[in-house]
Amino acid sequence: MTTGNAALAKFFHSVSNVSMLLTDRCNLRCSYCFIDCTPANDSTMPLETAKQIAHLLIENSGYPQVALHLYGGEPLLMDDSWIADFVAYARALGEKHGKEVIFPLSTNGTLLDEERLVRLHEMGIGFSLSCDGPPALHNACRERGEQLHELLQSAKKRGIPVGVVVTINRHNAGRMGEVMEYLREQGVAGMISNFVVAQGRGDAEQLSAEQMFTSTVDEIGHMLKSGMSVDDMRVGRMAYQYLAATGNRNGSQPQWNRSCDSAADKIGIDGEGNIFVCGGTRNKEYLLGRLDEIDEKHVQRLRDNFPKKGTWYIRCFDCAANRFCTHGCPISCDLSESFRDNHCRFTKLMWNYFNEQPDTARRVHEMTMQKMQQQMKPHPTGNAGERCCREAGAKGGDQGGTA
């Protein structure tokens, strides 16, 4: 394994989370997939490459906890023996170097029956399931919602915690309260929502600013009325960012995309050893390097210019919401003017919404923090897999699982 390169060691020192793109193949063909995965794709990551990634991250990272995120495509197209070998290898490395290693996995859930769910859970895998609502609503853009429903029931029965990634799309955008209530009934305590992004097949299914706004306000209503029975990390972050922005009137520079850690401590690596700014792209414009070669000057240039900002960015300096703005996925903002403009308008709508009712932002933030503190209490089993199911979708610029 090529791990002695000083530049690679230095690069991985600042990395805490690697989205490992185990395959670009998927057993489904969701209408908005931003990677454009299909059952016809056939690339897979060799186990030796996966071990090299683990070695570079665990040996060199400056973080006490690191995440090796099993990602795709649909990562559960890989054999369990492959997953077991990799987890055992990485866990032993973590023990050797005094680091906690967690193994989030993003999946569409359709290749998980109850037996496999339990088996992988016992390995220490944390699950993040792609679910867009009750079966009929889920199936509007995806497939096999009934099967996913059965999986959620199995997880609830077995006491196996799962996180959920919800893609807000043109079918469920006006029904997010219904989506959250469905998840509550399945015993899901937390989710991460993403809007359809302007990449792959998702480019044709972008949402308007009004659809984004309505869905977010709908979520806030459910969170407050239900006592935060199901929280959305994206909404909680927005409430915090609003309070931080209004509490610091001295800030003069736009904080565009400050919620995205891509290209910094979170990266994506495919089966060929290509290192990208995040797991949500295969675009070579966002290539940082390779496992066998890193050019420090190139990496710094790309990091310094990520997210990219064109002349349109000038408008941000006079915008009242600039310290609150995250502008969505930075790569989609770069590639699509309509995506960028829709997120710009959505941000202004949310800024005005919180300005009119700042107590709402405060309540959402306080309730989110209280719930986070409860969830951070050590689990009696000490199983790291119990704690990482929410992180499985929390990858900055990544948009949850592609599965």
For residue 189, the Cα-to-chain-centroid distance in whole angstroms is 17
Residue-wise pLDDT for 171-186, tens only, equals: 999 999 999 999 999 9
Can you tell me the distance from the alpha carbon of 131 to that of 135, in angstroms, rounded to the nearest whole number?
A: 9
For residue 74, the Cα-to-chain-centroid distance in whole angstroms is 15
Q: How confident is the model at residue 252 (pLDDT cuts 50, 70, 90)?
A: very low
Q: How confident is the model at residue 135 (pLDDT cuts 50, 70, 90)?
A: very high
Average pLDDT (219-243) is 94
Residue-wise pLDDT for 232-247, tens only, equals: 999 999 999 899 888 8
| pTM for this model (two decimals) | 0.88
Whether 327 has a pLDDT exceeding 80, the answer reads no
Q: Which two tokens stand for residue 77?
A: 């197209």
Domains present along the chain, CATH in parentheses? 14-228+258-309+381-393 (3.20.20.70)
Residue-wise pLDDT for 383-397, tens only, equals: 444 434 444 433 323
Average predicted confidence (pLDDT) for the chain: 87
Average pLDDT (370-377) is 78
Pairing between strand 231-232 and 266-270? Answer: unpaired
Residue 318, pLDDT score: 85
Residue 387, pLDDT score: 39
Whether 189 has a pLDDT exceeding 80, the answer reads yes
Q: How is residue 44 annotated by DSSP?
A: B
Return the minimum-mean-pLDDT range out of 89-103, 123-137, 198-212: 198-212
Q: Which two tokens stand for residue 108?
A: 């569409």
Edge-first strand listing for the sheet containing 231-232? 231-232, 190-195, 162-168, 125-130, 100-107, 65-71, 17-21, 266-270, 274-276, 287-290
Residue 377, pLDDT score: 56
Q: How confident is the model at residue 100 (pLDDT cuts 50, 70, 90)?
A: very high
Can you tell me the distance from the alpha carbon of 335 to that of 119, in angstroms, rounded to the nearest whole number?
A: 41
